[in-house]
């Protein structure tokens, strides 16, 4: 319950931030902050609806993922079927992503409309028990409706960044040079996208730890998932994803895009060493050693 309330609070902060951007843009362009705030509040509601109904299609399209039958991907289907039986979950659709970068993600608005996608590189890199650990992690996201939450968070955060960019360029190009509040507008244009990103990270990182734990307990093999995460971390460093939007990196089990130095502070996933340490501790606590 506490985690749910915390997530709802973070969403309200995102929507409030989006409304503040509308207030500033309304003041700059329309000289009417009420209209700007109301328009952007309505846009936030519209983006939530679009994310709810179409996020899975958008994500699959952006990564060229194709739905595959059991005949086309028997290994994936069999492992996911086993996980669904253990977790009393409906069978999701299975998709394959044509890239050698080893990774996986889940999408869909609920467990009855879910899609679990894996890259070609994932199936090549992992053993069956490691692959089961990764897919159990994704099914934990499905069970907890994390995929909807993270899709909506990414959509609103992206919209905030876009709106702030409009405000920034308006200031740079002199749209309101004489305005007494220009410094305030510039501060909002710079800090709003950063605040949106930090809120998105708070939502995403918390849910990754939870999916690791629940997925590992579902298959009773925490160490199999730990081994898989080690391989995926190294595999994505060597072969980062070349296609796609970094704003959707929170959808994947490990970050498929690379960034070092200052950028590393804003990764959508928890530090891999901490994730693996938690899984090893879980194995010690439960006696599950697989």
Is 130 an active-site residue?
no
Contacts of 211 (CB under 8 A, 6+ apart): 137, 138, 140, 141, 144, 146
Instruction: Give the pLDDT band (50/70/90) at residue 137.
Output: very high
| Contact between 96 and 77 (Cβ < 8 Å) | no
Given 130, 132, 138, 233, which residue is catalytic?
A: 138
* Digit-coded pLDDT (tens) for 233-246: 999 999 998 877 66
User: Residue 54 — φ and ψ, nearest 5°?
Assistant: -125, 0
**Band of the pLDDT at 261, cuts 50, 70, 90?**
very low
Strand duo 93-97 + 115-119: pairing: parallel
**Total number of domains constituting the chain:** 1
The per-residue pLDDT of the chain, averaged, comes to 81
Span 201-212, pLDDT tens digits? 666 777 899 999
> Quick one: pLDDT band at residue 120, thresholds 50, 70, 90?
very high
Residue ranges making up the domain that contains 80: 2-286
- Tell me the pLDDT band of 265, cut-offs 50, 70 and 90: very low
């Amino acid at each position: 319950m506490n985690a749910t309330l915390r997530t709802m609070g973070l969403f309200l902060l995102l929507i409030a931030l989006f409304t503040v951007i509308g207030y500033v843009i309304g003041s700059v362009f329309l000289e009417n902050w009420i209209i700007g705030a109301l328009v952007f509040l309505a846009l936030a509601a519209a983006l939530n609806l679009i994310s709810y109904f179409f996020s899975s299609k958008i994500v699959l399209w952006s990564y060229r993922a194709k739905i595959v039958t059991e005949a086309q991907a028997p290994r994936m289907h069999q492992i996911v079927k086993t996980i669904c039986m253990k977790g009393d979950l409906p069978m999701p659709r299975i998709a394959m992503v044509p890239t050698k970068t080893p990774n996986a993600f889940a999408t869909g608005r609920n467990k009855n409309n879910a899609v679990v996608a894996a890259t070609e590189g994932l199936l090549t890199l992992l053993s069956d028990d490691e692959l089961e650990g990764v897919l159990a992690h994704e099914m934990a996201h499905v069970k907890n409706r994390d995929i909807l939450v993270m899709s909506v968070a990414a959509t609103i955060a992206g919209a905030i960044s876009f709106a702030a960019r409009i405000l920034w360029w308006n200031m740079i190009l002199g749209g309101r040079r004489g305005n007494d509040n220009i410094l305030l507008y510039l501060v909002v244009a710079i800090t709003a996208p950063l605040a949106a990103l930090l809120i998105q990270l708070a939502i995403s990182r918390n849910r990754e730890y939870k999916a690791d734990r629940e997925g590992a307990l579902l298959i009773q093999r925490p160490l199999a998932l730990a081994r898989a995460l080690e391989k995926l971390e190294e595999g994505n460093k060597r072969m980062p994803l070349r296609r796609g939007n970094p704003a959707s990196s929170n959808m994947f089990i490990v970050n498929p895009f690379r960034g070092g130095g200052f950028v590393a502070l804003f990764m959508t996933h928890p530090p891999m060493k901490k994730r693996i340490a938690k899984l090893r501790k879980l194995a010690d606590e439960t006696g599950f050693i697989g």
